[in-house]
């Protein structure tokens, strides 16, 4: 049994001998995008920072998105951020550009605090893959900030891409797959893709629980939409704590161990569960099915949640002194 520490940022970073971190994150439209970085600077643990600034495609939200982005940039500069450390991306940029960005981080050979809060999966999956596999990165922690609330009524994202899998994570060339889905708010494109990819005897659904009531309602709506047009016998539901990356990973390992088929993932749920899927997928070259939305609502979330007066920046140790904490146990490696 591997102990994988996780908790609020100050607690998690204080668990080991002090070190300075290279912070890697994204400047986005949401207020929470800078929370982890600001707190880390406040703790005096920063050795440098690298940010991605990612723009959506034109939409009805473009004006508001640009306004929000400028607000965040202003705050970034005021908090001491260096704009020359910001790389611009289009949301749908090719994988090789994201890989180049990941390798430039790797080349710094520093402990990395990787904030996935505002990074789309298309970006954080390949970056996490590079950082996890790299011998040059001995210490790696992932952070994720809880918002105060989510946009309550409007769609959180729109115009999902036509592609089926996340670039860099295609389907297995041959053999059966067991599909593990984490559900969240984005029910529509999940519907379409499950319709296209399901050739599985069973689908394992990871349902975030416990969760706030509005989140719970939308999540169960997604589950209902997903399961109502298909045979109930195909689904098996599992409750997973939405912030417990380690617990989600263990659940996935257990599911992988119980089947001879290759696990494949559809990460539509909370980011920590997606990160757990990513950490598993990169070790078994699993497929990750996720149609990248082209547009996010500028107010996808509002504010930053607070726990005992501290910002809710959850921090997960992934590598410590060169030890990889999320390696799949040998008895659960499977055939792939």
Partner 1 sequence: MKYNVNPFQELYVSDSASSNEFVELFSEVPLQTAIHPLFQEGNVVLSGTQGCGKTMILRLFLAETRAAYRTAKKKFPIPRRERRFISAGVNLTKSALTDVSQVTLGQGDEHDISQLPFYFADFFNYWVVKDLLANLLEVGADPDTFENLVDLSKVDQFVSCLVKQECWFGALNGCSTLDDLQTRINDRIATYRKWVTHNERYVGAPSDLRQTKTSIGEPISRTVECLKGSEVIKDDVRAYIRIDQLEELHRSTLPRQRQLRLAFRHILNRAVASRDRRVHYRLGTRRYGWQDPASLTIQGSGAQLEARRDYLLVDMDDDLFRRKEHGRRVWLFDKFAADAFRRRLAFYLGGELPANIARKVFGRSPRPEERAEQFATGRRDRREMERVLGLNDSETEAKCWSPSWRRWLLRLYKQSPLEAILAAAWGRQTGGGQSKSEHRTQPPPTRKTWAKKWWRKERLSQAVLQLAARRQQRMLWWGYADLLGLSGGNITVFLHLCHQIWDLFLKEERLKPEAKRINPLKAEPIPVHTQAAGIQLASARWYNKVAEEPGGEVRKRFIETLGKTLRQQMRGDKRMSYPGGNGVTLALKDLLADRTPNRDIWRLLRDAVGYGDLFAAEHTTKNKASEPRMKFYLNPILSPAFQLPVAHTKEPLYWNIDKIFELSCDAELPFATKRKHLSQGTEGPELLEPEDSRQLRLFVQNGDWRE
CA distances in angstroms from 87 to 23, 129, 148, listed in the order given: 14, 19, 28
> Which residue, 173, 178, 195, 196, is CA-closest to 259?
178
d(CA 320, CA 54): 29
Query: Which residue number, 38 or 299, has a Cβ lying nearer to partner 1?
Result: 299
CB of 70 to partner 1, least distance (A): 13
Query: Which residue number, 11 or 96, has a Cβ lying nearer to partner 1?
Result: 96
Torsion of CA 176, 229, 161, 284, to 10 degrees: -20
**Could you give phi then psi for residue 185, rounded to 5 degrees?**
-95, -20
Chain residues binding partner 1 by CB under 8 A are 55-60, 62-63, 66, 90, 92-96, 99, 126, 155, 158-165, 167-171, 173, 188-189, 191-192, 195-200, 225, 229-232, 234, 285, 291, 294
CB of 223 to partner 1, least distance (A): 15
CB of 161 to partner 1, least distance (A): 7
Q: What angle do CA 162, 163, 164 make, to 5 degrees?
A: 115
d(CA 123, CA 28): 13
Q: Which residues pair with 314 in a beta bridge?
A: 8, 144
CB of 234 to partner 1, least distance (A): 8
Peptide bond into 210 cis (omega under 30): yes
- Local structure of 177: helix, strand or coil: strand
Query: Which residue number, 10 or 161, has a Cβ lying nearer to partner 1?
Result: 161
Query: Which residue number, 43 or 91, has a Cβ lying nearer to partner 1?
Result: 91
CB of 128 to partner 1, least distance (A): 13
d(CA 160, CA 199): 22
Query: Which residue number, 19 or 97, has a Cβ lying nearer to partner 1?
Result: 97
Query: Which residue number, 158 or 250, has a Cβ lying nearer to partner 1?
Result: 158
- Local structure of 47: helix, strand or coil: strand
CB of 250 to partner 1, least distance (A): 25
CB of 138 to partner 1, least distance (A): 20
CB of 231 to partner 1, least distance (A): 5
Query: Which residue number, 167 or 263, has a Cβ lying nearer to partner 1?
Result: 167
HSE (side-chain half, CA atoms, 13 Å) at 284: 32
Query: Which residue number, 243 or 261, has a Cβ lying nearer to partner 1?
Result: 261
Phi-psi region of 80 (alpha: psi -120 to 50; beta: other; left: phi over 0): left
């Amino acid at each position: 049994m591997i102990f994988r520490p996780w908790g609020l940022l100050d607690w998690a970073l204080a668990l080991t001998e002090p070190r300075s971190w290279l912070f890697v994150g994204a400047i986005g439209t949401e207020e929470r995008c800078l929370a982890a970085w600001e707190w880390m600077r406040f703790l005096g643990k920063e050795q440098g920072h690298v940010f991605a600034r990612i723009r959506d495609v034109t939409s009805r939200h473009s004006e508001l998105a640009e306004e929000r982005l400028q607000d965040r940039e202003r705050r970034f500069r005021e908090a001491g951020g260096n704009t020359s450390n910001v790389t611009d991306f289009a949301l749908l940029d090719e994988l090789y550009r994201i890989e180049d960005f990941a390798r430039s981080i790797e080349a710094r050979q520093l402990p990395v605090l990787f904030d996935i809060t505002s990074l789309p999966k298309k970006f954080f999956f390949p970056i996490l893959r590079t950082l996890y596999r790299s011998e040059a990165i001995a210490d790696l922690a992932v952070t994720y900030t809880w918002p105060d609330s989510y946009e309550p009524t409007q769609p959180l994202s729109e115009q999902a891409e036509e592609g089926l899998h996340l670039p860099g994570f295609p389907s297995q060339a041959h053999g059966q797959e067991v599909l593990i889905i984490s559900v969240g708010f984005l029910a529509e494109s999940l519907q379409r893709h499950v319709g296209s990819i399901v050739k599985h005897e069973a689908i394992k659904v990871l349902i975030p629980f416990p969760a706030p009531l509005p989140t719970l309602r939308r999540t169960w709506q997604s589950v209902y939409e997903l399961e109502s047009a298909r045979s109930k016998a195909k689904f098996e539901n599992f409750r997973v704590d939405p912030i417990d990356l380690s617990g989600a990973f263990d659940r996935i390992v257990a599911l992988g161990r119980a089947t001879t088929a290759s696990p494949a993932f559809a990460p539509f749920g909370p980011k920590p569960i997606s990160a757990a899927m990513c950490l598993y997928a990169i070790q078994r070259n699993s497929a990750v099915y996720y149609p990248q939305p082209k547009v996010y609502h500028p107010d996808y979330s509002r504010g930053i949640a607070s726990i005992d007066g501290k910002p809710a920046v959850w921090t997960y140790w992934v590598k410590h002194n060169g030890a990889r904490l999320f390696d799949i146990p040998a008895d659960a490696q499977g055939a792939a």
